[in-house]
């Protein structure tokens, strides 16, 4: 636990600068969208695997405070950077005109980005039942998650191999460095990246590949990529 809590000291390496600060791309489910679809190692997706991805994310610069998203389907809550906050203000989506250094802890928390799991493809909801004495709120999962009774349960056990995929989609202005770090963390945990939407990653550098406004990633039936659509489009072949 100490090594996870001290992740702010040791890093796997800084992500390369993708673009100038004033042109920092932000990804959401309304305008510039982003998705990461991967096949979990061995086709197994447990709370343990989700925990390990969170731990791997914490080894990256700027993600020492990453934590599970409290949304119903689960996901990753990603801390906002100063550059990301400036980009949000420039785009008029910050909700207030205040310097990043002057934001309170609660304001920074509300400004966090998320990569949410899909209800049909690898949902992993989790919420703590209490806070260990002396623990910070964003560290509670480190203590509590391994104690869950379902920590080793495979959520994809009843699916054929071609349907054992997990989908993450961007919510609330995800930064480019978030996407780079999460993909690197997934690969460090031996998960196989099958497909990305809205961006491409080559040699740890991110390139925006397109914008699809209003596809409604929260509701696949209304235009997002449902599990059946992903498989029908040949994703299972590209992941093999």
Q: Answer yes or no: are the C-beta atoms of 36 and 166 closer than 8 Å.
A: no
pLDDT number for residue 240: 42
List the one residue out of 237, 227, 69, 59 whose CA is nearest residue 138.
69
- Mind listing the pLDDT tens digit for each residue in 176-187? 999 999 999 999
Q: DSSP secondary structure string, 125-163?
A: ----S---TT--GGGHHHHHGGGSTTTT--TTTTS-GGG
> What is d(CA 221, CA 68) in angstroms, rounded to the nearest whole number?
25
Average pLDDT, the chain: 82
- Mind listing the pLDDT tens digit for each residue in 26-47? 999 888 999 999 999 999 999 9
pLDDT number for residue 19: 43
pLDDT number for residue 235: 56
Q: Tell me the pTM.
A: 0.81
pLDDT number for residue 132: 62
């Amino acid at each position: 636990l100490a090594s996870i809590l001290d992740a702010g000291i040791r890093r796997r390496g800084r992500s390369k600068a993708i673009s100038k600060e004033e042109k920092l791309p932000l990804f959401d489910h309304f305008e510039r969208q982003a998705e990461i679809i991967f096949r979990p190692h061995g086709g197994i997706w447990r709370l343990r695997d989700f925990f390990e991805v969170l731990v791997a994310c914490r080894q990256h610069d700027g993600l020492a405070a990453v934590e599970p998203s409290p949304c119903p389907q689960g996901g990753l809550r990603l801390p906002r950077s100063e550059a990301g906050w400036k980009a949000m203000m420039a785009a008029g989506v910050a909700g207030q005109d205040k310097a990043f250094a002057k934001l309170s802890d609660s304001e920074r928390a509300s400004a966090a980005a998320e990569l949410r799991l899909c209800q049909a493809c690898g949902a992993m909801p989790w919420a703590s039942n209490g806070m260990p004495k002396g623990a910070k709120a964003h560290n509670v999962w480190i203590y509590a998650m391994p104690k869950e009774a379902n920590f080793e349960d495979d959520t994809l056990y009843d699916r054929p191999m071609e349907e054992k995929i997990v989908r993450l989609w961007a919510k609330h202005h995800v930064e480019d460095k978030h996407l780079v770090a999460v993909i690197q963390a997934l690969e460090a945990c031996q998960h196989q990246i099958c497909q990305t939407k809205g961006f491409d990653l080559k040699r740890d550098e991110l390139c925006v590949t397109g914008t699809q406004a209003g596809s409604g990633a929260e509701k696949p039936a209304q235009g997002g990529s449902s599990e059946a659509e992903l498989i029908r489009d040949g994703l299972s072949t590209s992941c093999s």
